[in-house]
Structure 1
Amino acid sequence: MSFDPWQYALGALAAFLIGFSKTGVPGAGILAVPLMAQVLGARLSVGATLPLLLLGDGFAVAFYRQHADWGWLRRIAPWVTGGLLVGAVALKVLGDLHLRADPLGPVIGVLILAMLALTLLRERLGDRLRPTSRVGTVLTGILAGFSTMVSNAAGPVMAVFMTAAGLPKERLLGTTAWTFLIFNVAKVPLLLLLTADNPAEPLFTASTLLFTGTLLPALGLGALAGRHLLPFVPERGFRVLVLGLSGLAAVRLIV
């Protein structure tokens, strides 16, 4: 598989946004999901994006590791694990269909639109949106696990949960960083097993992983930018732009 300059450009932008979201504006990373799907196709993008997320998680943990609240992480972890397994089953079923058009594209598009709606709902309702009850924790964990497994787009779900938990800013960042690092690592063997089970519909290939490797400098640049330039970024305008572009990209994946 060979790649054109526009694919490298969009991939580098996606990697930069992932790094920036891990250390700066968390919502920025959602745009990386449809960008990578446009570059590689929906199914291959799931595996190709994972190394970028792991490196971004590493930056976030390095910056905020001492601030994690392990009590909240233990509370939601079993349900996220369940969501990961449900997502793995969904990826297997969709892969076994062997359709000419990638059926995962519309699924990712719908999940992104759902995450955008959740982000807007959170901004409107604020503290009134509190998913930290027992039932809310179960549903949030399963949805987060499923969406991160299928589309790498669980950020808004976890943001709502962690914010509702009332954690101070640094503790919220530390807890979120460790949460995503742990569960992104857990996704690796599942995606490898799915690829070995159905090599005709892989989630990892040597070409896509090499492509991802060329994007790592852009991710590092984004992580440093998020850490040091955040006070100078007009956050509201930046978020509106990212959310708007994410919505357009999600609609394109659906249609």
Structure 2
Amino acid sequence: MNTMTLWHISGWGFAALAFAALLVGFSKTAVSGANTVSLAIFAAVLPARASTGVLLPVLIAGDVLAVLTYRRHAHWPTLWRLFPAVAAGVVVGTLFLVWADDGVVRTSIGAILLLMAGVTLWRRRRAESADGADEPDAVTSRAGRMKARSYGVLGGFTTMVANAGGPVMSMYLLSAGFRKLGFLGTSAFFFLIVNVSKVPFSAGLGLIDGRSLLLDAALAVFVVPGALFGKWAVNRINQRLFEQLVIAATVVGGVQLLLR
């Protein structure tokens, strides 16, 4: 598939994609889940199915910056517990993309965005009613293993189909009792490994090629200032207000995709 024949990007379109790339960097080092807005922008400017392939390398650039920033705070037992279930979810998502056309993918992304907005609201209410722990909950309990498998499969599917696994994993990590730095460090390594593992699948589906990577190279430039701003703002930002704006923008983006 020649991805560059799928769209003609105007100046305003590229500006929107650049803003979305900047927001990716910010979300990776400050407010996880904010890149759901980026997902909506990419799917609005580009064909929905192709947008997932263009967005993926941009996300990986943000993941690399997040790992460099928070690498000392990752909790590896949690990561090893999640990876097998996530791999199963990625395979299911790949099979779905083989079957689905652009309209189905667009509708699916919109529905996923609305689902993730609901998940984020529920997560915030739980976080407000519970005190965080210094370490995540026990990784050996049967309930803990079942929870990891459930969240892992859903996270793998949503990240493969729509690059929208962030809210799922955010809810899981917060429910496991992570504080801010442990949350950011663990999610940074998680998404770097998962997103890199998705590249062969996306390339095999024709969603990534040399021409799309040229667009990614131009957009990756905007990820860096977003990540640097996120690192500066993480201890200063009014996160409650920002998450409210992110949820509102996610809902608008999801409805817009469902109505296209």
Cα deviation for residue 174 of structure 1 reads: 1.1
- Looking at structure 2, the residues matched to 216 and 188 of structure 1 have their Cα atoms a distance apart, in angstroms, of 16
| Correspondence for 2:186 among 152, 169, 175 | 175
Selected match of 1:40 from 28, 37, 46: 46
Q: Which residue of 32, 50, 66 maps to 2:72?
A: 66
Aligned counterparts of 2:231 and 2:194: Cα–Cα separation in 1: 23
Paired residue type of 1:113? L
* Code of the aligned partner of 2:19: L
CA distance in 1 between partners of 2:179 and 2:92 (Å) = 32
Q: CA deviation at 1:231?
A: 3.9
Deviation larger for 75-84 or 203-212: 203-212
Name the aligned partner's letter for residue 110 of structure 2: G
What is the distance in 1 between the residues matched to 2:236 and 2:184? 20
Matches within 5 A, 1:86-235: 86-95=92-101, 102-126=103-127, 133-195=144-206, 203-235=207-239
Is 1:28 aligned to 2:34, yes or no? Answer: yes
Shift of 1:112: 0.8
Query: TM-score w.r.t. structure 1 length?
Result: 0.89
Change (3 A) 1:239 1:54: same
| Higher mean C-alpha deviation, range 153-162 or range 229-238 | 229-238
Match for 1:190: what amino acid? Answer: F
Please say if residues 15 and 219 of structure 1, whose CA atoms lie closer than 8 Å, have aligned partners that are also in contact.
yes
Q: Secondary structure at the match of 1:102?
A: helix
Q: Is the 8 A contact 1:84 1:145 kept in 2?
A: yes
Q: CA–CA distance in 2 between the matches of 1:169 and 1:233?
A: 13
8 Å CA contact 1:132–1:164 kept in 2: the answer is no
Q: Please give the alpha-carbon distance, in whole angstroms, between the structure 2 residues aligned to 1:173 and 1:28.
A: 13
CA deviation map 1:44-88 (0-9, x unaligned):
110000111001000000011122111011111100000000000
Q: Which runs of 5+ in 1 are unaligned?
A: 96-100, 196-202
Report the equivalent of 1:199.
none
**Does the 8 A contact of 1:132 with 1:161 survive in 2?**
no
Q: Secondary structure in 1 aligned to 2:34?
A: helix
SS in 2 for 1:27: coil
The aligned amino acid for 1:47 is G
Say whether the 8 Å CA contact 1:41–1:102 is kept in structure 2: no
Structure 2 CA distance for aligned equivalents of residues 105 and 121 of structure 1 = 25
Unaligned runs of 5+ in 2: 131-136
Q: Normalising by structure 2, what TM-score?
A: 0.88
Give yes or no for contact 2:111–2:258 (8 Å, CA) kept in 1: yes
Q: Is the 2:24–2:223 contact (alpha carbons within 8 Å) kept by the matching residues of 1?
A: yes
1:249 to 249, 253, 256: 253
Distance 1:43 1:69 in 2: 33
Are positions 1:53 and 2:59 aligned together? Answer: yes
Identity %: 39
SS of alignment partner, residue 151 of structure 2: helix
Cα distance in structure 2, aligned partners of 1:38 and 1:23: 25
